[in-house]
Copies of this chain bind each other. A is one copy, B any other.
Amino acid sequence: MEDPGNGGHAALVQLQAYLAQMDHAGETRLPAERELSESLGVSRGDLRKALAVLEKDGRIWRHVGRGTFVGSGPVEETIGISEIAGRTNPADVMRARLIIEPEIAREAALHATLSDIASMRQSLVQTREAVTWRQYENIDNLLHRQIAQASRNNVLLGLFDVLNAVRRTVVWGRLRSEGARPPADHHSFGDHERIVEAIAERDLGGAAAAMRLHLQQVERRLIPVREAAE
């Protein structure tokens, strides 16, 4: 019916024109294939061929149930926590913390407000007052997050949250077995205080170094054996 013999080339031309017009209007999603084929006066088969060409060229992006979009596709939302945690191990998580968190601490030393520092110091006190291991862990988590928040950079804070969620996923089931032991060891207290102190004094390198040292201590404690021999 539709001027056969052109091999669908007319459809491609019309589609490109439509796309340019739409691109100019700022729209990113184009109508459904059924509507568009009728609107452009071409068969759906030809339209799909033209769409396939544009997709292979990277100009559009299609997905079942969602629609067809211009550009490099709808942002890939599917980098979820479990996706990362599923193909890694505690050692890599610890290594990543050792790489990322000192730099975050350095940035915190540069941008922390007085309110941030006050909150951290309050957490320091609460850390010492914890009577349960779980309580201690919660406050420890909070303190580390407060440091990330003190960077005053929501991207860094978001990355920290992702890293933290991955960590809690990967090592899940390891801490639970230790039960309700109180935190009798005092090594982390000093570490935390040194970090906060360096941030308060705007000592960028000192904050990074203190955080690195602290995480190395934590890493050492994660190694199962040898603790007695030390």
Contact = CB atoms under 8 A, between A and B. Distances in A.
Interface of A: 57-59, 71-72, 75-77, 79-84, 87-88, 92-93, 95-96, 99-100, 103-104, 106-107, 132, 134-135, 137-138, 153-156, 158-159, 161-163, 165-166, 168-169, 172, 176
A163 B155 contact: yes
A81 B75 contact: yes
Given A107-B99, A162-B162, A92 B154 contact: yes
Contact of A103 (B103, B156, B162, B176): B103
Nearest to A167: B155
Contacts of A72: 134, 137-138, 168
A106 B83 CA distance: 24
A87 B154 CA distance: 7
Given A103-B103, A107-B99, A155 B93 contact: yes
A70 to B, nearest CB: 9
B77 A80 contact: yes
Contact of A84 (B57, B59, B155): B155
A99 B87 CA distance: 25
A19 to B, nearest CB: 13
B153 A162 contact: no
A135 to B, nearest CB: 6
